[in-house]
Structure 1
Amino acid sequence: MNNIAHNLEHLHEEIRSVCKTSGRNPSDICLIAVSKTKPAGLIKEAYDAGQMDIGESYVQEFLEKESSDQLSELPIRWHFIGHLQSNKVKDIVGKVSLVHSIDKLGTAEELSKRASRKNIIVDYLVEINTSGEVSKFGLPPDELLPKAAHFFNLPNIRLRGLMTIASPDRKKARYEFRMLADLLEQLREASPDPGLLTELSMGMSQDYDIAIEEGATMIRIGTAIFGSRQR
């Protein structure tokens, strides 16, 4: 069995090392532990080791864990990082600190509607398909800026930045991470409140070092913390 506390300690050491060589401040990097398919007990183990930010990809699985006896009373910062269908938005509004994976204007509109009904503010990221792979979700890069004003004007939700899942090839991944960072800068120039646009959610277990070098503020790590997925 993996020692999750040990894995987290080792990962933080690696993050500090990458930050040192790339001139980044480790405190500017939010580590999100991706716990999809992992039981609540392992999430509790990570929390006990100091891991506050937890990422889930499937709505029903998230709801079961978030309401479980082991986790429901803990001040976990939940991140929804998986593909989000409009008809599932209502289930997570008010329960997650950040939605990473809004890939359509229509889904953002639904998020706005549901947040308005609850009279709350929901933070979110727009997912960009930087690789162009048809198997990946995400808004095409060239559609972001033409739609930016619509995203900015939706009530009760705040666009905080961008998210991507890169190609498995590390050379391509670096190019895609750099593309996302450039897009965020362009988005800031178009924004009525550029100070809100602070987040680049990019990088996973196999490429988080490159992502940090290219400006990531959030990295999503599962395997390096919890071990291989069971399904």
Structure 2
Amino acid sequence: MPVTEKDLAEDAPWKKIQQNTFTRWCNEHLKCVNKRIGNLQTDLSDGLRLIALLEVLSQKRMYRKYHQRPTFRQMQLENVSVALEFLDRENIKLVSIDSKAIVDGNLKLILGLVWTLILHYSISMPVWEDEGDDDAKKQTPKQRLLGWIQNKIPYLPITNFNQNWQDGKALGALVDSCAPGKCPWLPKPSLWDGGIWALNFLVFIGNARFAVIGVFLLVLVHCKIVKGTENDSIYLPKCMSYRCSHGLV
């Protein structure tokens, strides 16, 4: 399906959904330090929540001091610089993202920053079930995730992160595999005839962890199926299915 001007617009629905999705991912980690992000575009501007998020994810402290009450713009820029320097020392590479972009609320670059954190801390670093350290080192994050999915739902021919997910069967089967019996109203995956309705059911799962998965599924619906191209967003729902099912979000 070709990309339309509406899909690429600044207010495209899938972009807002992606922002909400990334915000939820951040808040899942920040809740252990009693912090919360309401607006991802503006709430990282003083650097404090970003620093807190990095310390939670890395289980390390910042390498240098920062302003606890950054009331002035220069203080905010310095705080964000501390966070970005921390990422550099952790060998997490960022492209075209500087402190000014975060303080000024450049949403595109902020989403890029959060995606980099997700890729590193939720996909690249953990050793997953049925996987050894050597396997993790040899494979790319996408290869690792694809292998894990194939082990979870071996009865479905999953070979990619695009066409195999468009009818809803694979997503429903994966969630059911991670949380057996949590969706008793859903038909067995083998009986599904496809369609967006299957994804909509998953959004309303009562368990808070799996509500997060529902949001990620919406990213797929509004971004992947609408745009019809393969990019980072496609395998985030599957990664979160794994993380949520093991209490790792």
If the length of structure 2 is used for normalisation, what is the TM-score? Answer: 0.28
* Greater fraction of residues in helix: 2
Q: Which has the higher strand share?
A: 1
Relative to the length of structure 1, the TM-score reads 0.29
Which has the larger Rg?
A: 2
